[in-house]
């Protein structure tokens, strides 16, 4: 599978394995933005914003969509809209972004208790995991009944088996529980499992569909659901400061990603990730989870690898790493893959002589960039690892 050719000025992300959020807009995408509508989206007068909302909603087989400037906002208002009378709780995977990386939004914005669950199979929550931690609304005044279950697909790059989603959906319908999907990488799941987005739409009451991750748009997500739900979500979006004005340019750029050959782009990133995972297995480098899609999760704690050493080995070969998560996207090329193999191998070998005993889970993301620049654009290599 050939690399995607991009003009030099648009290849700043070709060596960036920190996250698929670092993809840069290509010339055609920027061109699409320049020709965008310029209406006020709060008054629902912007054609390209409405076009994106309707396109994504139709793809997911939902009545309506709502453009949100971030996946965090889309998740938070998506869950909030399902909630009415506290006390209530949200059940999710203990690694879920909505629990670990949205700054306690569920507790503060939704006044919800979160019940984080460790999947017994180590990869994804099953119906049995859910039943063990479900809080029924049975009149017991001690509990916070489970009102929403939020599943992430993919989570850490792991695809959710469709049959498990069906089991969970049927149970949720029987028990009056709403089902939300954090679909930051649902495009990856769709193409990896050959499951149309519409089929996922049938299984969830709401889905937050990111345009800014593997799809490569500069920003934004679309929350999809039935019309009544989206109308109320719009109310919460405004409340949380997400009502934006001339969003047409961003939405036209996001629309372009759907018109472009997104499946080939995502499959390219999956292929590179699979090759890196194979390399790690061959070399005895432990992985945390299966590389089903575009992410490879190296188990730094098991390998006793220091994330800072790994980041520095990456810089030695001119690639950008952040920690144990190696995130591929369509702009990464094979040259970067080979450099990543070398950097990871050297960090792994170094750890044999200099084992790094983290006091617990080493965070896979960072809040500060190793590529932070000053006002003159001069990089500040200020590598800080948040170790716990
Ligand atoms: C799984 C997942 N959900 C939600 C988000 C939030 O998206 P955003 O960074 O656009 O707020 C992210 C981060 O990009 C993510 O990885
Ligand atoms: C964690 C961070 O917010 C982003 N979702 C990422 O995947 O890089």
Residue 282 above 80 pLDDT? yes
Strand order, beta sheet including 64-68: 64-68, 221-225, 206-210, 178-183, 146-152, 89-93, 113-117
Point out the ligand nearest to the CA of residue 156. Answer: 1
Probe residue for ligand 2, chosen from 16, 101, 184 as the CB with the greatest number of ligand atoms within 8 Å: 101
End-to-end Cα, the chain, rounded Å: 39
Segment 171-186 shows an average pLDDT of 98
Residue located nearest, by CA, to atom 8 of ligand 2:
19
Q: Calculate how far, in angstroms, residue 74's C-alpha sits from the geometric centre of ligand 1.
A: 9
Task: Report the pLDDT averaged over residues 22-35.
Answer: 94
What are the pLDDT digits (tens) for 346-374?
Answer: 999 999 999 998 776 656 666 656 666 67
Provide the whole-model pTM.
0.94
Go through the domains of the chain in sequence order and give each one's CATH number: 1-24+261-388 (3.90.1150.10), 35-259 (3.40.640.10)
Longest Cα–Cα distance of the chain, Å, equals: 63
Determine the Cα–Cα distance for residues 176 and 303; give it in Å rounded to an integer.
Answer: 44
d(CA 354, ligand 1 centre) in Å: 34
What DSSP state is assigned to residue 142? Answer: T
ipTM of the complex: 0.98
Q: For residue 21, which atom of ligand 2 is closest to its CA?
A: 8
DSSP 68: E
Ligand 1 atom closest to 69 (CA):
10
Ligand 2 touching residue 19 (CB < 6 A): yes
Closest CA to 295 of 332, 258, 346: 332
CA distances from 339 to 271, 316, 317 (A): 16, 9, 6
Regarding the beta carbon of 21 and ligand 2, being less than 6 Å apart is answered yes
Measured from the alpha carbon of residue 329, the closest ligand is: 2
Q: What pLDDT score does 377 carry?
A: 72
Q: Residue 232 in 3-state DSSP?
A: helix
Q: Is the CB of 184 under 6 A from ligand 1?
A: yes
Averaged pLDDT for residues 197-223: 98
Evaluate if residue 385 carries a pLDDT over 80: no
Mean pLDDT for all residues in the chain? 93
> Mean pLDDT throughout 258-266?
96
Question: Above pLDDT 70, what percent of the chain?
Answer: 92
pLDDT at 226 over 60: yes
Q: What is the pLDDT of residue 386?
A: 34
- Gap from CA of 20 to ligand 2 centroid (Å): 8
**Better-scored residue on pLDDT, 283 or 387:** 283
Pairwise pLDDT comparison (360 vs 104), residue with the higher score: 104
Ligand 1 atom nearest residue 19's Cα: 14
């Amino acid at each position: 599978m050939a690399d995607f050719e991009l003009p030099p000025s648009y290849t700043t992300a070709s060596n960036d394995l920190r996250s698929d959020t670092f993809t840069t807009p290509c010339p055609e995408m920027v061109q699409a933005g320049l020709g965008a509508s310029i209406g006020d989206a709060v008054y629902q007068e912007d054609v390209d914003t409405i076009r994106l909302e309707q396109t994504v909603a139709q793809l997911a087989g939902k009545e309506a969509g709502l453009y949100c400037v971030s996946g965090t906002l889309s998740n938070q208002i998506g869950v909030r809209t399902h909630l009415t009378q506290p006390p209530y709780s949200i059940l999710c995977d203990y690694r879920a972004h909505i629990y670990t990386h949205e700054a306690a939004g569920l507790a503060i914005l939704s006044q919800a208790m979160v019940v984080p669950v460790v999947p017994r199979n180590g990869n994804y929550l099953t119906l049995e995991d859910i039943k063990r931690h479900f809080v029924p609304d049975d009149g017991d005044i001690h509990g916070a009944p489970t009102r929403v279950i939020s599943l992430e697909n993919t989570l850490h790059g792991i695809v959710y088996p469709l049959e498990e989603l069906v089991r969970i959906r049927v149970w949720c319908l029987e028990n009056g529980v709403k089902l939300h999907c954090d679909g930051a990488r649902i495009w990856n799941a769709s193409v990896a499992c050959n499951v149309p987005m519409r089929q996922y739409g049938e299984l969830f009451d709401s889905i937050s569909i990111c345009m800014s991750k593997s799809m490569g748009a500069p920003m934004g997500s679309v929350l999809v659901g039935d019309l009544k739900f989206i109308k109320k979500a719009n109310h919460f979006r405004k409340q949380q400061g997400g009502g934006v004005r001339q969003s047409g340019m961003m939405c036209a750029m996001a629309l372009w990603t759907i018109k472009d050959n997104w499946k080939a782009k995502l499959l390219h990133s999956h292929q590179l990730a699979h090759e890196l995972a194979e390399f790690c297995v061959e070399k005895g480098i432990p992985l945390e989870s299966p590389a089903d899609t575009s992410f490879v999760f190296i188990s730094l704690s098991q390998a006793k690898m220091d994330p800072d050493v790994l980041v520095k080995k990456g810089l030695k070969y001119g690639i950008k790493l952040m920690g144990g998560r190696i995130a591929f996207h369509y702009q990464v090329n094979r040259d970067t893959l080979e450099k990543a193999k070398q950097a990871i191998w050297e960090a792994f070998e170094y750890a044999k002589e200099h084992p790094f005993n983290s006091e617990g889970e080493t965070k896979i993301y960072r809040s500060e960039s190793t590529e932070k620049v000053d006002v003159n654009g001069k990089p500040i290599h200020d590598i800080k690892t948040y170790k716990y």
